[in-house]
Structure 1
Amino acid sequence: MSVHRKDIKLITTHQLQAMKERGEKISMLTAYDFSMASILDGAGIDVLLVGDSASNVMAGHTTTLPITLDQMIYHASSVIRAVKRAFVVVDLPFGSYQGNSSEALRSAIRIMKESGAHGIKLEGGSEIKDSVIRILSAGVPVMGHLGLTPQSIYKFGTYTVRAKEEQEAKKLLEDALLLEEIGCFALVLEKIPSELARQVAEGLRIPVIGIGAGPAVDGQVLVTHDLLGITKEFKPRFLRRYADLNDTMTKAVSEYITDVKSRDFPSLEEAY
């Protein structure tokens, strides 16, 4: 079996379901702009998440809460213009769906119409059931998100591992089954014990994607800037860095500055 299924011309919810059924792991990364999305899509990534983590990575906020629906649509539109193969999911930002299913539907429809995205993602379980059902009723694919839900950071008060206690683990299992039952096409589990994640993945028919949820789930997602070593301060146990672009880029810029200051750049060959 090929590691990179580049022969698939366009990833769909059907393809993702088929991957789970044949035991092929799903690869997922974040993207917020055209250039990066083009590279990731060309490399053969299965799913691109236009995450509200753009609030941290692109805008410099300490939480995901400040990013707006308009800003998410801007990032999603930039990503969609680059993609030829990957399935593109967009986070509904904080305040655009909680507590009001009508507003949730309007937010989801705006993302789908204005960006051309393929699906949306929401954080939470039973408490957002009405919003998920309303969005699904309009034919919009929905990905769930349980465990550590960053939009609830002020409720949790910490980014530590979730669902270690029996009561919270029981609710997570119930929420996962509920999200599948009402029609979500996939589920993200963030920062929960590996054994609990395994139980969820084995108990659900739909694909379960993990971040800090161990190896027994159906796929993995990371923030691209973390994977590439562009960010340096964020060092959780679950993160594997595949490059050190921060140092590479700093070195390149330093060399450019030196060449400009020394009049080495541009040379006669680089002038018209």
Structure 2
Amino acid sequence: WAGLGYYARARNLLKCSRAVVERHDGVFPDTEDALRALPGIGAYTAAAVAAIAFGRRAVVVDGNVERVMARLFAVQDPLPGAKPALTVLADALTPAERCGDYAQAVMDLGATLCSPRNPACGLCPWMRGCQGRRQGIAAELPRKTPKGEKPVRYGVAFWTVRWDGAVLLRKRPPSGLLGGMIEVPSTPWRDSPWTLEEARKLGPFHLDWHAVGGVVRHTFTHFHLELSVLAGVARGGSVPAGRWVAPEAFGAEALPTVMRKVARHAAKNPTTVG
């Protein structure tokens, strides 16, 4: 599950539960605005819960609904810029009664018949009124703004080995990318490569750091990451924030994929303890 956002969801679930107890005396709120105010609940979730769980009139818009609206009304403006217009169209069709059933039906329509590729227009209950089908462009919609080149960011990971072969790991800050997960101590990630001299100053110990050949590469949603690895042996002194873990026990740790790549890279170039 590492790297899929489940750890952040679990933390938000706890925060949300506490907020319901503290702000609402343990009774889950049933309005869209009150739901939006809870930790970890965004616009889509608030609308979906309000409509489906509590029967409130709320405009539920996910990717499936956006696709259905774009095709039904032949909206050719690309996403994400077209999102507000698609929400207005979804609002115009949302009924006052049985709003939750309607929302679920449109989401299911987008997930099954009005699929991203090869939509089954002949089976669609809205076939006759679909402007996208009438114009012969349904399968092309919704259009999306072309993505630019992902930038490259750089960092240095410190593979710190103790006398018994255990490796230093630490917990990342609770918020931000990979929040709350376990990592090999690393520099911040930035837009320019680190020099060896710069990186050594940020190591968890003052050691005789040596560069491990090669680079660890990983791609996130919005950028590529290149991590150099410095290895060193800790022979004593105070332990910085973190804990020592034997490499064979890494499987039980919440290590994201990029840090498992670091571990595999370091294993190919073992650091001698002696």
Structure with more contact order per residue of length (Cα contacts < 8 Å, sep ≥ 6) = 2
Determine which structure has more spread, i.e. the larger CA radius of gyration.
Answer: 2
TM over 0.5, shorter chain? no
TM-score by length of structure 1 reads 0.24
